[in-house]
Amino acid sequence: MLDLKFVRENYDEIKKKLDKRGEDLADFEKFPSLDEKRRELIRETEALKAKRNEVSQEIARKKRNKEDADALIQEMREVGERIKDLDERLRAVEEELDQLMLSIPNIPHESVPVGESEEDNVEVRRWGDLPEFDFEPKPHWEIAAKLGILDFERAAKVTGSRFVFYKGLGARLERALINFMMDLHSEEHGYKEMWPPFLVNRASMTGTGQLPKFEEDAFKIREDDYFLVPTAEVPVTNYHRDEILDADDLPLAYCAYSANFRSEAGAAGRDTRGLIRQHQFNKVELVRFVKPEDSYDELEKLTGHAERVLQLLGLPYRVVSICTGDLGFAAAKKYDLEVWLPSYHTYREISSCSNFEDFQARRAGIRFRREPNKKPEYVHTLNGSGLAVGRTFAAILENYQQADGSVVIPEALRPYMRGIERIEPK
RNA sequence: GGAGAAGUACCCAAGUAGGCUGAAGGGGCUCCCCUGCUAAGGGAGUAGACGGUGUAAACCGUGCGAGGGUUCGAAUCCCUCCUUCUCCGCCA
């Protein structure tokens, strides 16, 4: 959410910047009149309330002195009616303004490349040599089938499409990846390890920006208004919702594993095979709460932490700076890490690292105090996948596949696999 | 899931015949005095937050878990919800 005063004072400039996202700005046009209407109603209603408070004192005094206060009471009865009426109108206007503000995306940072779609994203750097095969590399679902470590068919029977069973060494590999990533970030990168709830309430989903605009993307438990987490970002960022943090504690860094649930509305027909796009997938998430002046350095740092996972696993990747037209709703700037998938002959997103500046913090009420008695300020929040585990699983199968159908386990992972160096066809 | 009790400021806690209580008292914290260390003692200060008006000083509004209602006026009365605790049931 953007700051009301800031929008009021910089309306035209902000409009220009939002336009670069390719957003429909029809709603935003309503801002100036709504904002003015709101303030007008506040002025009116508060003047009446001040009067009511004053006269109520007067009535109390008269009653104590056994004087007649009927005329005043009669007068205040009318004032009360007017206040009630104005309050109702004010509430309606504030509700509308609130919905408007909650649906306006973040302003892109000046360093974000201007563009319309993912075509215009800018590659920042590449790492690693692409693997060379003296045979035709197979897609990961075919490799997995030979190894007997994934079962999509039975998952479809048990649940539905876009779900999967990991089996045997496949299940162990998935678990090894989670443990490897969590250990790396908590032991070496200084993140505090968290294990969050996988269901969150509406306020949390609104705090990080999934709601109100993207409700159809989420799985919802209807009767108690809970949502299955689409990413651990939601519970972990909201961990500090409505809090004022100590400046000395910043930056705060958390890493959290969670299963992630996404309805993938609108993705019908895309990536229907394999692990790339599932309704449920595992991910290790990095979340940072930082001082505003540090947040862009922090974004580089966080991106580096995610990259480190790929480097240790020996998976070739590139870093892409997401352009204005492709930027997520809440992000001011975003880097994607894209891992090389041989069977696709292309890089595919495996991590997304964003700086939200104070956009989420304002929605979620996450502030900090620089010094005692100073006014609280909003923190900047960042997060990034470190990494999406299912896609990492797929990348390992594809990049480490051998001519005989086996898959070599990257060395860094072997301690987590009880020493297993290779998964052989069944 | 059933039955009870409770939610007041950083913490504990008083406050129902509704009005001079936005909130007694204590602890903690900050400052000052006294005390050559320590212990103890004395005094002062300690809602923050959000919103509105204003160049500003400042003034006004909201605020006693949340949201409604009754009333000229609510921490105090009524309703709904949330959370915590105790007991029972059920489970992992």
pLDDT score at A236? 94
A39-65 confidence digits (pLDDT tens): 999 999 999 988 988 888 888 888 878
pLDDT tens string A355-407: 999 999 999 988 888 876 678 889 999 999 999 999 999 999 999 999 999 99
Please check whether strand B approaches the CB of A408 to within 7 Å.
Answer: no
**Is the CB atom of residue A82 positioned under 7 angstroms from any atom of strand B?**
no
Distance A217 CA to B73 C1' (A): 48
Residues of A annotated as catalytic are 262, 277, 349, 352, 391
Confirm whether any atom of chain B, the nucleic acid strand, is less than 7 Å from CB of A161. Answer: no
Mean pLDDT of A62-81: 85
Question: Residue A37 CA to B72 C1' — how many Å?
Answer: 28
Q: Taking the mean position of all CA atoms in its chain, how far away is CA A398?
A: 29
- Quick one: which residue's CA is nearest to B18's C1'? A60
Over residues A208-238, the pLDDT tens digits come to 999 988 999 999 887 778 899 999 999 999 9
Distance A372 CA to B39 C1' (A): 31
Per-residue confidence (pLDDT) for residue A224, from 0 to 100: 78
Distance of CA A206 to the CA centre of its chain: 10
Residues 177-236 of A, Cβ under 7 A from nucleic strand B: none
Q: What is the rounded distance in angstroms from the CA atom of residue A244 to the CA atom of residue A70? A: 48
Strand partners, A256: A194, A285
pLDDT band at A75 (very low <50, low <70, confident <90, very high): confident
**Protein CA at A200 to nucleotide C1' at B56, angstroms:** 46
Measured between alpha carbons, how far is A256 from A329 in angstroms, rounded to an integer? 22
Return all residues near A65 (Cβ < 8 A) that are at least 6 apart.
none
pLDDT digits (tens, 9 = 90+) for A118-160: 999 999 999 999 999 999 999 999 999 999 999 999 999 999 9
Q: Which residues contact A145 (CB under 8 A, 6 or more apart)?
A: none
**pTM for this predicted structure:** 0.92
Using the 8-state DSSP alphabet, how is residue A401 labeled? B
Instruction: Spell out where A128-279 has E strands.
Output: 150-151, 165-166, 192-194, 199-201, 220-221, 226-228, 243-246, 252-261
Average pLDDT, rounded, for chain A:
93
**In which band, very low, low, confident or very high, does the pLDDT at A418 lie, cut at 50, 70 and 90?**
very high
The CA–C1' separation of A368 and B13, in angstroms, is 29
Tens digits of residue pLDDT in A315-345: 999 999 999 999 999 999 999 999 999 999 9
Contacts from A265-274 at CB under 8 Å and sequence distance 24+?
Answer: A265/A216, A265/A217, A272/A161, A273/A139, A273/A141, A274/A139, A274/A140, A274/A141, A274/A394
Which helix (H) or strand (E) element contains residue A351? Answer: strand A346-355
Averaged pLDDT, A89-113: 92
Residues 20-49 of A, Cβ under 7 A from nucleic strand B: 39, 42-43, 46-47, 49
Higher model confidence: residue A176 or residue A246? Answer: A176
Q: What per-residue confidence (pLDDT) applies to A54?
A: 87
Nucleotides of B under 7 A from a protein CB: 19-20, 49-53, 60-62, 68-69, 71-73
Query: Count H helices, E strands: chain A?
Result: 12, 18
pLDDT value of position A402: 97
pLDDT the model gives residue A163: 95
Q: Kindly state the percentage of chain A with pLDDT values over 90.
A: 73
What does the pLDDT read at residue A70?
Answer: 83
Max Cα separation, chain A? 104
